[in-house]
């Protein structure tokens, strides 16, 4: 903006909106997402580039560990209208499996019992590694004794 208190003076100043206006526009998308999903817990806005035509917001109604309670709203940047909403059930089976397996891998799907089971399995894996190393060491020592006696 020009210092004299008037309007924009150069073409670049006219084409570049102020940061505050851009922030207010993102807040409007956020408000629309909150109204569409009143039981939301977190909303993540993927900050768009100036050239992007779409703005997407990820809405989570769960604890962050429940992929079936997550959805994505996509807005048209010029009209601020919702272009589509993609829920977990709308995703491909492969995407759904990856999202669930990520939390199943860490035991978060079944809560405390799942995490306990995952901890036991991890401890078992550590024991298997240790026994493998111990067996290899024992065989190596016996091989050394056999070659020394021969």
Domain ranges of the chain: 8-105, 110-150
Q: How confident is the model at residue 18 (pLDDT cuts 50, 70, 90)?
A: very low
Residue 7: which residues within 8 A CB-CB, separation 6 or more? 1
- What is the tens place of the pLDDT at every residue in 117-149? 889 999 999 999 999 999 999 999 999 999 998
Query: b/e for 73-103, b at 16 or more Cβ within 10 A?
Result: bebebeeeeeeeeeebeebeeeeeeebeeeb
Instruction: Decide if 70 contacts 59 (C-beta within 8 A).
Output: yes
- What is the tens place of the pLDDT at every residue in 71-113? 889 888 877 788 888 888 888 899 888 888 888 877 777 778 8
């Amino acid at each position: 903006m020009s210092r004299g208190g008037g309007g924009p003076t150069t073409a670049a100043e006219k084409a570049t909106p102020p940061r505050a206006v851009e922030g207010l526009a993102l807040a409007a998308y956020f408000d629309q997402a909150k109204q569409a999903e009143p039981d939301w817990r977190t909303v993540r806005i993927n900050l768009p580039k100036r050239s992007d035509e779409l703005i997407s917001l990820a809405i989570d109604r769960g604890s962050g560990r429940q992929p079936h309670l997550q959805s994505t709203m996509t807005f048209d940047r010029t009209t601020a209208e919702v272009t589509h909403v993609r829920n977990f059930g709308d995703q491909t089976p492969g995407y759904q499996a990856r999202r669930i397996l990520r939390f199943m891998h860490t035991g978060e799907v079944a809560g405390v019992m799942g995490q306990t089971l995952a901890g036991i399995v991890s401890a078992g894996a550590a024991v298997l590694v240790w026994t493998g190393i111990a067996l290899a060491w024992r065989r190596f020592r016996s091989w050394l004794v056999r070659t020394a006696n021969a």
